[in-house]
Amino acid sequence: MTALDVSTLGKTKHTLPRAVPDLRRGSTSRREWETAYRRRLFLGDSVIIVATVFLAQWLRFGGDGRAVSPGILGQLSYTGVSIALAAMWLSSLGIFRTRSIRVIGSGPEEYRRIFVATVRLFGLIAIVSLLLQLDIARLYLAFAFPVGLTALMASRWIWRKVIARKRSRGDFQTSVLVVGSPVAVKKMAQTFERAPGDGYRVVGVCQPSQLGRRDRVIVVDGNEIPVLGDEHDVTDALDLVGADAVAVTATEHLGYDGMRKLAWDLECKDVDLVVAPGILDVSGPRLSMRPVAGLPLIHVERPRYHGAQRFAKTAFDVVFASVILILISPVLIVTALAVKFTSRGPVLYRSERMGLDGVPFPMLKFRSMVQNADTQVDSLLSDNEGAGVLFKMRDDPRVTKVGRVIRKFSIDELPQFVNVLRREMSVVGPRPPLRREVEAYDGAVKRRLLVKPGITGLWQVSGRSDLSWEETVRLDLSYVDNWSMVGDVMIVVKTLKAVMASDGAY
């Protein structure tokens, strides 16, 4: 990409140089692929819903479309009921904006909207049926509701994989022009790089003139991003690069009047304006917009570690751990026998870990190393490959042959479900730390001890042993500050995929 001569910028008319190549990429604009993608989503939703309601009718009544539901409205044909239900279901998905460009491909929020739209629709049907005395067959609704909801979720999951794959190849991108200081711009660009599936690509930068900088480009992860002027050149820069969105970060350089003028300037363009609040790793549910004295203020709610949420998490842990232990009992027995008869020592290894509020507990694992492996750590410290205070070796000589197999598929971690039943651990949470790790904690890292450690967590589904110490801490703190039941379920699902692929395990 040709660097720009910024010496011509910042003049009275704030014009951009004409001898600059067109920075727009791809033949398909964002609006085109968005429209096509939403059309396909609507078609997929329609096929699923129509198939579900008529399959429910066929299972309940066979081929008799004349089955009726008596009530104060008279005789209702179930074929008519199915048509009405399909239409209302599609309308409900539209009302709750499940196909909004703001959420498609984003995962949890998209799934949440589908769930809420479906549950509220069937709740409304139940209330109306009661008020109008409509005797709609329970089996008909009992089949349509869970099957349709599951199929819709699965469909969106498949579409999400499709769009993520295309974005990883450089398609379906949202090009972004960032207005902000070099430091803030780099952080934003690095954040987008960490999540290529979200499809945001920084194509240009406008640095506020108050900074007095004359950078030609900003380098982020080896990519050169051209500096296209200052805050007065945003509209001209948009014409140059054809960006789909303008992202403003470090807004103190623009001020109130500058932000308002920028919003007015962009009104005539088909471009989104987004403002980064400068708050990292805070999830949407903790953020709320409230107007105060005419100013739109973002309120950040405190993390919730107690009350109903903690009760729900504990109930989930107990039920999930009990069911899993029953289902995997054959695997536990086979593994225990393999460990016992292939090496000397106990079947289970009890490792002291620090739990909630720094209280120690014995974490259970199938023994994957030779007996008394702990006493050999000091002699191996020179070969440590772990990040920060962690000790990890990709080819640890203490690991047994059986240990390598059970470690690869995380089978050695399965006894920790007993720790969950003993209320020492949670199914999902931060990585359980050693005492020496906790003693080395400083500052904000201690916040990891505000919740129970987990068998799995964000660290497990984001690289496991391949993560840097800083990234491990960031993910753990993000979980502590934003944990929710929906998030826990998503992490459990992702963990199964990571374990089957043996990602980052050694």
98-113 per-position pLDDT tens digit = 888 777 766 677 888 9
Looking at residue 212, its pLDDT comes to 54
pLDDT at residue 272 greater than cutoff 60: yes
Length of the chain: 506
pLDDT at residue 425 greater than cutoff 90: yes
Full-prediction pTM beyond 0.95? no
What distance in Å separates the CA atoms of residue 88 and residue 93, rounded to the nearest whole number? 9
DSSP-derived letter for residue 297 is E
pLDDT at residue 443 greater than cutoff 90: no
% of the chain residues with pLDDT over 70: 75
Return the residue matching tokens 């399909």.
86
Token output for 400: 């047994």
Token output for 126: 């139940």
Tell me which CATH code domain 6-23+173-278 carries: 3.40.50.1980
Nearest CA to 331 out of 468, 499, 119 is that of 499
User: What contacts 469, CB < 8 A, 6 or more positions away?
Assistant: 386, 387, 388, 389, 390
What distance in Å separates the CA atoms of residue 42 and residue 152, rounded to the nearest whole number? 11
Q: Give yes or no for a contact between 414 and 428, defined as CB atoms under 8 angstroms apart.
A: no
Token output for 503: 């990602």
Encode burial over 163-178: b for 16+ CB neighbours within 10 A, e otherwise: bbebbeeeebbbbbbb
Looking at residue 506, its pLDDT comes to 47
Token output for 464: 């496991």
% of the chain residues with pLDDT over 90: 21
pLDDT in tens, 276-305: 776 656 666 666 667 766 666 777 766 666
pLDDT in tens, 125-178: 888 888 877 777 788 888 999 999 999 999 998 988 888 888 877 778 888 888
Please, what is the average pLDDT of the chain? 78
Query: Residue 247 pairs with which residues in a beta bridge?
Result: 178, 274
pLDDT at residue 196 greater than cutoff 80: no
What distance in Å separates the CA atoms of residue 298 and residue 291, rounded to the nearest whole number? 9
Task: Indicate the domain borders of the chain.
Answer: 6-23+173-278, 30-168, 308-501
Q: Which phi and psi (to 5°) does residue 273 adopt?
A: -115, 120
* pLDDT band at residue 1 using 50, 70 and 90 as cut-offs: very low
pLDDT at residue 335 greater than cutoff 90: yes
pLDDT in tens, 231-252: 778 888 888 888 888 888 876 6
Average pLDDT over residues 308-331: 90
What distance in Å separates the CA atoms of residue 125 and residue 371, rounded to the nearest whole number? 63
Looking at residue 394, its pLDDT comes to 65
What distance in Å separates the CA atoms of residue 235 and residue 206, rounded to the nearest whole number? 10
pLDDT in tens, 7-42: 444 443 444 443 344 444 444 567 778 888 889 999
